[in-house]
A and B are shown apart, each in its own frame.
Chain A
Amino acid sequence: EDQVTQSPEALRLQEGESSSLNCSYTVSGLRGLFWYRQDPGKGPEFLFTLYSAGEEKEKERLKATLTKKESFLHITAPKPEDSATYLCAVQADAGGTSYGKLTFGQGTILTVHP
């Protein structure tokens, strides 16, 4: 069974204080690992996809990295507008029908204070 565990559950930062969110996963074979951002009352918004260990993706103050067991979302010099819930999800490489299946972690609630 695919499993995704995110830590910490909640993270409070001061503006400009860099940190990292963790996503540990167990999957039979990884097709892709996804990071999403979710604002209160809204649907998840896609940030990154990572496909293989060693891969990195960057977007503004965010950088996602991937190893064979976990992914990190690094936030450099965060601003209050980065406050949101960050979700990690994995897609297993388990045959054609598995393309539609995503397993999500419970998310990390990030709060950035000015």
Chain B
Amino acid sequence: EAQVTQNPRYLITVTGKKLTVTCSQNMNHEYMSWYRQDPGLGLRQIYYSMNVEVTDKGDVPEGYKVSRKEKRNFPLILESPSPNQTSLYFCASSSPGQGRNIQYFGAGTRLSVL
């Protein structure tokens, strides 16, 4: 089954404790993205990657890091989480082939930073 898998689904942590949210896709997609979703602000893109070792900032990259060492994986790293990073996070993947670039989303990771 084609899917984007995020782990963990729920995470509670404390300020300053480094964490990683993993994302994996099995569709051989070139593009992968991370979004955060907050009430009243909608979905905002954090980072995206066009392929292995190629990444670019989205609209809200501050406080986040990403890496793309393999095509299927795109982890999101919070080096020193702060309470304002409490949010619902989504990973997505897509392929620009045939002129279509439909992004397929994971189920989400709900993060609380205390």
Q: Is B85 an interface position by the 8 A CB rule?
A: no
Known: A99-B50, A100-B33, A100-B50. A44 touches B105 (CB 8 A): yes
Query: Within the complex, what minimum Cβ distance (angstroms) separates A64 from chain B?
Result: 14
Q: What DSSP secondary structure best describes chain B's contact surface? A: strand
Give the Cβ gap from A37 to chain B, nearest Cβ, in Å. Answer: 11
Please classify how large the interface on chain B is, using the bins under 10, 10 to 19, 20 to 34, 35 or more.
20 to 34
Given A100-B31, A101-B45, A104-B42, CB of A43 within 8 Å of CB of B100: no
A32 to B99, CA, bound (A): 10
Asked whether A43 and B105 contact (CB < 8 A) given A99-B50, A100-B48, the answer is yes
- Whether A100 and B100, one on each chain, are in contact in the complex, defined by CB atoms closer than 8 angstroms, is no
A46 engages B43 (CB within 8 Å): no
On whether the beta carbons of A99 and B31 are closer than 8 Å, the reply is yes
Complex-state Cα separation, A51 to B90, whole angstroms: 25
- Of the candidates A41, A45, A102, the one having the most CB atoms from chain B within 10 angstroms of its own CB is A102
B105 contact set on A, CB distance < 8 A: 36, 43-45
In the complex, chain B residues whose CB is within 8 Å of the CB of A107 = 42
Which B residues lie at the A interface, using CB under 8 A?
4, 31-33, 35, 40-45, 48-50, 56, 58-59, 90, 92, 94, 96, 99-108
